[in-house]
Chains A and B, each alone.
Chain A
Amino acid sequence: MAALLSIQDLVTAYGKIEALKGVSLEVAEGSITCLLGPNGAGKTTLLFTTAGVLKPRSGTIRFAGKDIAGHPPHRIVRTGIALVPENRLVFPQMTVIENLRAGAYQRSGAGEIEADIDRLMQRFPRLRERAAQDAGTLSGGEQQMLAVARALMSRPKLLLMDEPSLGLAPLVVEEIFRIISDLHRDGTTILLVEQNAYMALQVAQHFYLIEQGKVTFSGDPGSLEQDEVIRRAYLGTARR
Chain B
Amino acid sequence: MDDYTIGVLTNVGLFSFLALSAYLLLVVGEMSFGQQAFFGVGAYAGGVLTALYGVSLPLAALGAMALGALAALAVGLPTLRLKGLYFAMSTLAAAEMARILFELLIFQKTVGGETVGPDGTQGFRGIRWVFERGVEPVEYLAIIYALLAAVLIALLLIERSRLGAVLRSVGSDSELASALGVNVGRLKLGVAAAAGALAALGGVLYAHHNTYIEPRNFDIMLGVHSLAYALIGGLGTALGPLVGVALDIGALEGSQVFGGTRMIVFGGLVAVLLILRPRGLLDERAVQWIKARFS
Asked if chains A and B are in direct contact (CB within 8 A), the reply is no
